[in-house]
Amino acid sequence: MAKVYDALRRAEEDRKRMLGDKSHRPAPLEVEPVGPAAERSDHKPVWKRGDEIVTPRPGPDGSAELNKRRIALLQPESYIAEQFRALRGRIDAIASQRPVKTLSITSAFPGEGKTTCAINLAIVTSMSLGRRVLLIDCDLRRPKIHPALGLKPETGLAEVLAGACSIDDAIVSAEGVAMDVLPVCGRPANPSELLGSPEMRRLIEEVSNRYDRIILDTPAALGLPDAKAVSDLCDGMVMVVRASTTAQSDIEAVLEILDRQRILGLLINGVEVDQGRYGYAV
């Protein structure tokens, strides 16, 4: 955990330098459904920091954003792809000492890069010879994996958990890479209950018998119980932190919510390196 707190400290220092105020620390964000939307299953969360309303940063739907989310596939020799290989190597080193077959990727809030991390880590992991990899989209509210990979699912995780189809019916193969994906198709009215259900546990147990590594992309951990429900079923977790953006108090809040013993490390996203490239560090 010492490395986690060192990374946490560096991220907070960078964030304060970006804000230009070393004494300011914003209050943690909270998510609240507002007005009639609170009664709908498809409402968009309103994030609050104290009395301030913070509009979630929408993810661009353009090709540049989609390409970034699968850069390890499109540019396998790029600097960023190499960083994901380094991350894969560190996880494999940990896996030599303890079981790490199921791995969840989370963050404090949306927009910090956890889906990009999950997709690219799954891609580089699938490049290992003889290794079967499954990527599961566990964000039943705002799924991003299937558009990033160009998939058009007819069924998905919610349908499997509800008993409307089998796992085999829902799993699809990603084009251009030896990796399977369990996407999200329908968006249920009870995502937290489905993710915390015995059916979800049985699903994880079943795919663990088929695959060498399962990577699960969870919703953001603060404000919603989904990430906690999924992470409790996994062997390990990686938390994604955006440099100069994620507050230390928010990171500490996530560490209090999740099982610290399962946290393998902190991945810092958006770190500037030479010539304007961006790197990742654990």
Tens digit of pLDDT for each residue in 164-190? 999 999 999 988 788 999 999 999 999
CB 234 within 8 A of CB 103: yes
* pLDDT the model gives residue 95: 92
pTM: 0.73
CATH of 2-21+60-281, one of 1.10.10.60, 3.40.50.410, 3.10.450.30, 3.40.50.300: 3.40.50.300
Q: What is the DSSP string of the chain?
A: -HHHHHHHHHHHHHHHHHHT-TT--PPPEEEE--GGGGG-TTPPPEEEETTEEE---PPP-SHHHHHHHTHHHH-TTSHHHHHHHHHHHHHHHHHTTS--SEEEEEESSTTSSHHHHHHHHHHHHHTSTT--EEEEE--SSS--HHHHTT---SS-HHHHHTTSS-HHHH-EEPTTSS-EEE---S--S-HHHHHTSHHHHHHHHHHHTT-SEEEEEPPPSSS-SHHHHHHTTSSEEEEEEETTTS-HHHHHHHHHHS-GGGEEEEEEEEEE-GGG-EEEE-
| Comparison of pLDDT for 242 and 277, the residue scoring more | 242
Q: Counting Cβ atoms within 10 Å, is residue 18 exposed (0-12), middle (13-18) or buried (19+)?
A: exposed
Q: How confident is the model at residue 74 (pLDDT cuts 50, 70, 90)?
A: low
How large a percentage of the chain has pLDDT more than 70?
69
| Comparison of pLDDT for 172 and 47, the residue scoring more | 172
Domain spans of the chain, in order of start: 2-21+60-281
The answer on pLDDT for 37 being more than 60 is: no
Q: Please give the Cα distance from 67 to 72 (Å, whole number).
A: 9
Q: How confident is the model at residue 128 (pLDDT cuts 50, 70, 90)?
A: confident
* pLDDT the model gives residue 199: 97
The pair phi, psi for residue 250, each rounded to 5°, is: -70, -40
**Residue bearing tokens 């996994």:** 234
| Comparison of pLDDT for 240 and 56, the residue scoring more | 240
The answer on pLDDT for 67 being more than 80 is: no
| Category of 238 on φ-ψ map: left (φ > 0), alpha (ψ -120 to 50) or beta | beta
The answer on pLDDT for 66 being more than 70 is: no
Tens digit of pLDDT for each residue in 5-23? 555 555 555 555 555 544 4
The answer on pLDDT for 208 being more than 80 is: yes
Q: Counting Cβ atoms within 10 Å, is residue 251 exposed (0-12), middle (13-18) or buried (19+)?
A: buried
Q: How confident is the model at residue 56 (pLDDT cuts 50, 70, 90)?
A: very low
The answer on pLDDT for 127 being more than 50 is: yes
Tens digit of pLDDT for each residue in 243-252? 878 888 888 8
Encoded tokens for 277: 């490239």
Q: What is the mean pLDDT of the chain?
A: 78
Could you tell me which residues come within 8 angstroms of residue 20 by beta carbon, excluding any fewer than 6 positions away?
Answer: none
Select from 76, 157, 75, 80 the least CA-distant residue to 117.
Answer: 80
* pLDDT the model gives residue 84: 86
* pLDDT the model gives residue 143: 93
* pLDDT the model gives residue 35: 33
Q: How confident is the model at residue 24 (pLDDT cuts 50, 70, 90)?
A: very low
Angle at 243 between CA 239 and CA 249, to 5 degrees: 65
Tens digit of pLDDT for each residue in 95-111? 999 999 999 999 998 88
**Residue bearing tokens 């799993």:** 171
User: How crowded is residue 206: how many other Cβ atoms within 10 Å of its Cβ?
Assistant: 12
